[in-house]
């Protein structure tokens, strides 16, 4: 009888511990992921409305609303070359309800200036969304019709070629200075504007000579009709097959593209992150989204979180080195 009571007690204990084990398995993180999202999700765009980041984020938000059944609300928080919005997300709760949608400017800004966050560790990468080359435009009547002619002209006229930027340390400045360094140290004058649109307007007006920008930025503007002398991708742009890349023209390993991607705050719930990764990839893979990206001169380009982490870190290192070399960022 005594042995029987002990056997029954042991069985009861096993049942109790088994139940507790089931409760432990339902950790807060798992419970969050199981019901996520059960309220609206904020997508922070660190630029003003109307640019490529904003346009792409809004299209993606609608796809996510349809697939996940909750509103994905765009919040524009422009300022300091994406720092204001990025810093807001870096300090947000890592619960999957605050997301950063940003281009590779996250890396160029971190490379060119001291930010209140360490871009390499302050965010949880989710996935890249798209990628596009830059295009080098010239004003009408500019004597250089290709990169080699630009190099020769700039060397013969040191300091007389003006190039536009969207602000000190932006993509356009760092790309132009990197090209200058790669082809042999050209001396060109940087003209900083408060955004890429006014720089494009001055290029159209002939007040500056050259400008690196994206097809998304010039589409539907007068700048789209300006001479295009090179694209910066690894291969030629499918829409402009007659325009060779910088790499083709110079023989240099000069490839620079702009990417767009989604991030959460560091420590973001991994299951919510992984679900977003899957849903964003589904959206980007549709024919409708690919057609939409094509209107922006971009192509689908998704990734794993780790691939995006490595891409961001490599770009931060690349643009930090360029910024230090031209004196924008102290060593």
**pLDDT tens digits, 165-177:** 988 888 999 999 9
Query: Mean pLDDT across the stretch 143-154?
Result: 97
**Interval 83-109 mean pLDDT:** 96
Report the b/e string of 76-93 with b at 16+ CB within 10 A.
bbbeebbbebbbbbbebe
**8-state DSSP, 94:** S
Q: Which domains does the chain have, with CATH numbers?
A: 39-132+257-325 (3.40.190.150), 135-250 (3.40.190.10)
17 pLDDT tier (thresholds 50, 70, 90): very low
pLDDT for 27: 44
The answer to whether residue 2 scores a pLDDT higher than 80 is no
Model confidence at 139, pLDDT cuts 50, 70, 90, reads very high
Spatial separation of the C-alpha atoms in residues 191 and 315, rounded to whole Å: 24
Q: Which residues, including other chains, have CB under 8 Å from residue 261's CB and lie 6 or more apart?
A: 101, 102, 103, 125, 126, 127, 128, 129, 303, 308
Q: Which two tokens stand for residue 189?
A: 């004058």
Contact assessment for residue 52 and residue 263, using Cβ atoms and an 8 Å cutoff:
no
Strand bridging mode 41-45 / 98-103: parallel
Q: What is the pLDDT of residue 25?
A: 43
Judge whether 173 and 147 are in contact, CB under 8 Å: no
Residue-level pLDDT at 33: 52
User: Which 3 state secondary structure label does DSSP give 306?
Assistant: helix
- Classify residue 23 by burial, with Cβ atoms within 10 Å: 0-12, 13-18, 19+: exposed
Average pLDDT, the chain: 90
Residue 166: the pLDDT is 86
Query: 182: which 2 tokens?
Result: 């790669």
pLDDT of residue 85: 96
Q: What is the pTM of this model?
A: 0.83
pLDDT category at 19 given cuts 50, 70, 90 is very low
Q: Nearest 5°: phi and psi at 238?
A: -60, -30
Tell whether the model's pLDDT for residue 30 goes beyond 50.
no
Q: What confidence score (pLDDT) does residue 11 get?
A: 44
Span 108-114, average pLDDT: 93
In this prediction, what percent of the chain has a pLDDT beyond 70? 89
Question: Could you read off the pLDDT of 286-330 as tens digits, one per residue?
Answer: 999 999 999 888 999 999 999 999 999 999 999 999 999 988 886
Distance CA 134, CA 172 (A): 9
Phi, psi of 127 (to 5 degrees): -170, 155
For 265-285, the pLDDT digits (tens) are 999 999 999 999 999 999 999
pLDDT beyond 70 at 47: yes
Percent of the chain with pLDDT strictly greater than 90: 77
Determine whether 196 is exposed, middle or buried from the number of CB atoms within 10 Å of its CB (0-12, 13-18, 19+).
buried
How confident is the model over 182-198, as a mean pLDDT? 90
């Amino acid at each position: 009888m005594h042995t029987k009571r002990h056997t029954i007690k042991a069985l009861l204990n096993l049942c109790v511990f088994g139940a507790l084990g089931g409760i432990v398995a339902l950790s807060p993180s798992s419970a969050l992921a199981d019901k996520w999202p059960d309220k609206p999700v904020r997508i922070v765009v660190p630029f003003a409305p109307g640019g490529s980041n904003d346009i792409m984020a809004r299209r993606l938000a609608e796809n996510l609303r349809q697939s996940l059944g909750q509103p994905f609300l765009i919040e524009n928080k422009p300022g300091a070359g994406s720092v204001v919005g990025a810093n807001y997300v870096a300090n947000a709760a890592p619960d999957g309800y605050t997301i950063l949608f940003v281009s590779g400017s996250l890396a160029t800004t971190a490379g060119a200036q001291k930010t209140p966050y360490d871009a390499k560790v302050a965010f949880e990468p989710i996935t890249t969304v798209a990628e596009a080359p830059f295009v080098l435009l010239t004003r009408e009547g500019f004597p250089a019709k290709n990169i080699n002619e630009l190099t020769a002209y700039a060397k013969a006229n040191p300091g007389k070629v003006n190039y536009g930027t969207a602000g000190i340390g932006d993509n356009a400045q760092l790309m132009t200075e990197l090209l200058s360094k790669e082809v042999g140290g050209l001396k060109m004058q940087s003209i900083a504007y408060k955004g890429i649109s006014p720089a494009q307007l001055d290029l159209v007006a002939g007040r500056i000579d050259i400008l690196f920008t994206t097809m998304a930025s010039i589409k539907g503007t007068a700048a789209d009709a300006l001479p295009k002398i090179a694209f910066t991708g690894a291969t030629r742009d499918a829409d402009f097959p007659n325009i060779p890349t910088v790499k083709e023209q110079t023989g240099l390993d000069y490839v620079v593209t702009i990417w767009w991607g989604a991030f959460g705050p560091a420590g973001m719930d991994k299951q919510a992150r992984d679900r977003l990764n899957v849903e964003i990839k589904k959206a980007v893979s549709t024919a409708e989204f690919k057609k939409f990206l094509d209107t922006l001169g971009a192509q689908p380009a998704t990734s794993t979180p780790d691939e995006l982490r490595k891409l961001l870190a490599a770009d931060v290192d690349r643009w930090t080195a360029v910024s230090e070399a031209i004196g924008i960022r102290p060593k």
